[in-house]
Chains A and B, each alone.
Chain A
Amino acid sequence: MEPLMEILKNLHPDVDFETCTTLVDDRIIDSFDIVTIISEINDEYDVVIPAEEIVPENFNSAQALYRLIQRLEDEDE
Chain B
Amino acid sequence: MLFTSYSFIGFISAVFILYYVLPKKCQWPLLLIASYIFYFIASPSYLIFIAATTVSTYLVSRKLENIKTEQDAYIKENKGKITRDEKKAYKAKMKGKQWKWLLVCLIFNLGILAVLKYTNFVIANINGILEAFHSTNELSFVNLILPMGISFYTFQTMGYIIDVYRGTCKAEKNLFKLALFVSFFPQLVQGPISRFHDLAQSLFEEHAFDTKVVSYGLYRILWGYFKKVVIADRILTAVNEIIQNPEVYQGGFVFVGMMFYAFELYADFTGGIDITIGIAQTMGITVTENFRRPYLSKNIKEYWKRWHITMGTWFTDYIFYPISVCKPMLKISKFSREKFGDGVGKRVPVYLSSFVVWFTTGIWHGASWNFIVWGLMNFVVIMISQELEPLYRKFHHRFQVKDKKWYGAFEIIRTILLMSAIRMFDCYRDVPLTFQMFGNMFTHFDITAFTAEAFLGLGLTAADYLLLFICLIIVVAVSLTEERKGSVRNLIYASPAVWKYLIFGVMILVVIVFGAYGIGYDQSQFIYNQF
Identify the A interface with B (CB < 8 A).
27, 30-32, 34-36, 38-40, 42-43, 48-52, 54-55, 77
Contact = CB atoms under 8 A, between A and B. Distances in A.
* Interface of chain B: mostly helix, strand, loop or mixed: helix
Interface in B334-349: 334, 337, 345-346, 349
A22 to B, nearest CB: 16
Complex A-B, nearest 7 residue pairs according to Cβ-Cβ distance, in ascending order? A52-B166, A35-B324, A51-B321, A51-B322, A39-B333, A42-B330, A38-B325
B350 A36 contact: yes
A46 to B, nearest CB: 10
B170 interface: no
A30 B301 contact: yes
Contacts of A34: 321
Contact of B386 (A32, A40, A55): A32
Contacts of B350: 32, 35-36
Nearest to A77: B84
B205 to A, nearest CB: 24
B316 A35 contact: no
B305 interface: yes
A66 B337 CA distance: 23
Nearest to A43: B334
Contact of A38 (B166, B324, B386): B324
A36 B334 CA distance: 11
Given A35-B325, A39-B345, 11 more contacts: A31-B320, A35-B353, A38-B324, A39-B324, A39-B325, A39-B334, A39-B346, A43-B337, A50-B325, A54-B321, A77-B84
B327 A35 contact: no
Contacts of B131: none
A50 B92 CA distance: 14
B168 interface: yes
A51 B167 CA distance: 12
A43 B332 CA distance: 12
A43 B331 CA distance: 10
B483 interface: no
Contact of A31 (B166, B316, B326, B333): B316
A65 to B, nearest CB: 14
Contacts of B327: 48
21 contacts: A27-B305, A30-B301, A31-B316, A32-B386, A35-B320, A35-B324, A35-B350, A35-B353, A36-B346, A39-B324, A39-B333, A39-B334, A39-B345, A42-B330, A48-B327, A49-B325, A51-B317, A51-B326, A52-B167, A54-B317, A54-B321
Contacts of A32: 350, 386
Contacts of A27: 305
Interface string B107-145: 000000000000000000000000000000000000000
Given A31-B316, A51-B317, A52-B168, A39 B322 contact: no
Nearest to A38: B325
Nearest to A49: B325
A36 to B, nearest CB: 5
A35 B333 CA distance: 11
Contacts of A49: 325
Contacts of A43: 334, 337
Nearest to A54: B321
Given A32-B350, A36-B350, A77-B84, A51 B386 contact: no
Contacts of B322: 51
A9 to B, nearest CB: 15
A72 B345 CA distance: 23
Contact of A48 (B168, B317, B325): B325
A49 B346 CA distance: 16
Interface string B347-368: 0011001000000000000000
Interface in B161-175: 166-168
A18 B65 CA distance: 39
B321 A48 contact: no
A64 B350 CA distance: 23
Interface string B303-326: 001000000000011001110111
A43 B349 CA distance: 14
A73 to B, nearest CB: 13
